[in-house]
Amino acid sequence: MFGRKKKTGPRTVTLIGKPGCHLCDDARTVIREVCAETGAVWEERDILQDEELHRAYWEQIPVVLVDGEQHTFWKVDPARLRRALSD
Protein backbone atom coordinates (compact mmCIF):
# COMPACT_ATOMS: atom_id res chain seq x y z
CA MET A 1 0.00 0.00 0.00
CA PHE A 2 2.54 2.53 -1.11
CA GLY A 3 1.63 5.60 -3.09
CA ARG A 4 -0.71 8.45 -2.52
CA LYS A 5 -4.13 7.90 -1.09
CA LYS A 6 -6.95 9.31 -3.23
CA LYS A 7 -8.72 12.11 -1.38
CA THR A 8 -12.48 11.97 -1.22
CA GLY A 9 -14.54 15.14 -1.19
CA PRO A 10 -13.50 18.54 -2.47
CA ARG A 11 -9.83 19.37 -2.94
CA THR A 12 -8.37 22.02 -0.66
CA VAL A 13 -6.08 24.82 -1.79
CA THR A 14 -4.18 26.72 0.90
CA LEU A 15 -2.60 30.10 0.26
CA ILE A 16 0.22 30.93 2.66
CA GLY A 17 1.02 34.62 2.58
CA LYS A 18 1.05 37.82 4.56
CA PRO A 19 -0.83 41.13 4.58
CA GLY A 20 0.44 43.77 2.16
CA CYS A 21 2.06 41.28 -0.22
CA HIS A 22 1.18 42.12 -3.85
CA LEU A 23 2.20 38.64 -5.05
CA CYS A 24 -0.17 37.19 -2.43
CA ASP A 25 -2.96 39.41 -3.78
CA ASP A 26 -2.29 38.11 -7.30
CA ALA A 27 -2.21 34.50 -6.09
CA ARG A 28 -5.48 34.98 -4.17
CA THR A 29 -7.24 36.19 -7.33
CA VAL A 30 -6.09 33.15 -9.35
CA ILE A 31 -6.92 30.71 -6.56
CA ARG A 32 -10.39 32.19 -6.02
CA GLU A 33 -11.21 31.91 -9.75
CA VAL A 34 -9.81 28.39 -10.24
CA CYS A 35 -11.49 27.06 -7.09
CA ALA A 36 -14.82 28.54 -8.18
CA GLU A 37 -14.46 26.75 -11.54
CA THR A 38 -13.35 23.40 -10.11
CA GLY A 39 -15.40 23.19 -6.92
CA ALA A 40 -12.29 23.11 -4.74
CA VAL A 41 -12.33 24.91 -1.42
CA TRP A 42 -9.61 27.32 -0.44
CA GLU A 43 -8.25 28.81 2.74
CA GLU A 44 -5.64 31.38 3.60
CA ARG A 45 -2.96 31.22 6.28
CA ASP A 46 -1.01 34.24 7.51
CA ILE A 47 2.69 33.45 7.75
CA LEU A 48 3.09 36.15 10.41
CA GLN A 49 0.65 34.33 12.71
CA ASP A 50 2.27 30.88 12.53
CA GLU A 51 5.90 30.39 13.54
CA GLU A 52 6.18 26.99 11.83
CA LEU A 53 4.88 28.32 8.50
CA HIS A 54 7.15 31.36 8.85
CA ARG A 55 10.20 29.14 9.34
CA ALA A 56 9.28 26.81 6.47
CA TYR A 57 8.11 29.27 3.81
CA TRP A 58 9.28 32.84 4.59
CA GLU A 59 11.46 33.20 1.47
CA GLN A 60 8.89 31.65 -0.85
CA ILE A 61 5.61 33.46 -0.16
CA PRO A 62 3.09 33.28 -1.50
CA VAL A 63 3.10 29.50 -1.24
CA VAL A 64 0.23 27.38 -2.52
CA LEU A 65 -0.56 23.94 -1.13
CA VAL A 66 -2.98 21.48 -2.69
CA ASP A 67 -4.36 19.05 -0.12
CA GLY A 68 -1.49 19.94 2.20
CA GLU A 69 1.33 19.40 -0.30
CA GLN A 70 3.33 22.26 -1.81
CA HIS A 71 2.14 23.01 -5.32
CA THR A 72 3.96 26.25 -6.16
CA PHE A 73 5.34 29.50 -4.80
CA TRP A 74 5.69 33.15 -5.86
CA LYS A 75 3.40 32.97 -8.93
CA VAL A 76 0.35 30.78 -9.52
CA ASP A 77 -0.21 29.44 -13.03
CA PRO A 78 -4.00 29.00 -13.40
CA ALA A 79 -3.73 26.17 -15.95
CA ARG A 80 -1.27 24.24 -13.78
CA LEU A 81 -3.49 24.68 -10.71
CA ARG A 82 -6.55 23.46 -12.67
CA ARG A 83 -4.60 20.36 -13.75
CA ALA A 84 -3.51 19.66 -10.19
CA LEU A 85 -7.08 19.92 -8.97
CA SER A 86 -8.38 17.59 -11.67
CA ASP A 87 -5.89 14.77 -10.89
Q: Collapse the DSSP code of 69 into the 3-class scheme (helix H, G, I; strand E, B; otherwise coil) and give the result.
A: strand
The pTM of the full predicted model, rounded to 2 decimals, is 0.88
pLDDT in tens, 62-81: 999 999 999 999 999 999 99
Percentage, residues of the chain above pLDDT 70: 91
Separation between Cα atoms, residue 53 and residue 35, nearest integer Å: 23
pLDDT in tens, 24-67: 999 999 999 999 999 999 999 999 999 999 999 999 999 999 99
